[in-house]
Amino acid sequence: MSAYEVVFCIVNAGFSDLVMDAAKEAGARGGTVIHARGTANKEAEKFFHITIQPEKEIVMILVPADIKDTVLHALYRNAGLKTEGQGIAFSMAVDDVVGLSGTTPPVPADAAAEEQTQENKDAQ
């Protein structure tokens, strides 16, 4: 099981702050906003009973796996399809993470073996 998950929330343009406020209240620390354009068709609008605006924002939020469900529920309540943001959210497992405080980058197996050999030489 992965230690981290990335949560994606796609909302109408202008609602990324709403998404981040909800995510932070659920324990997330920050996120990244990407500007996008939706391509849904009229059948999707009829099916969901909503008007789909083409201008979107995608908010990517890296969270510890143990708070992922809490974050997703907060996004659903505050920015879901039944809100002005008309957001959808989903998550994906993350294999490796580097660059966060409190994490160490993974070491390739061959580099780890070389490091161990050097430590053994230094100890002699």
Place of tokens 């609008």: 45
In angstroms, the CA 23 to CA 36 distance is 20
Q: What is the pLDDT of residue 21?
A: 97
Tokens representing 22 are 């909800």
Domains in the chain (CATH in brackets) are 4-123 (3.30.70.120)
In angstroms, the CA 82 to CA 87 distance is 8
Q: How would you class 26 by CB atoms within 10 Å of its CB: exposed for 0-12, middle for 13-18, buried for 19 or more? A: buried
- 86-110, pLDDT tens digit by residue? 999 999 999 988 887 665 555 555 6
- 44-76, pLDDT tens digit by residue? 777 777 766 789 999 999 999 999 999 999 999
Q: What is the pLDDT of residue 112?
A: 57
- The pTM (predicted TM-score) of the whole model is 0.73
In angstroms, the CA 50 to CA 104 distance is 45
Q: Which amino acid is at 5?
A: E
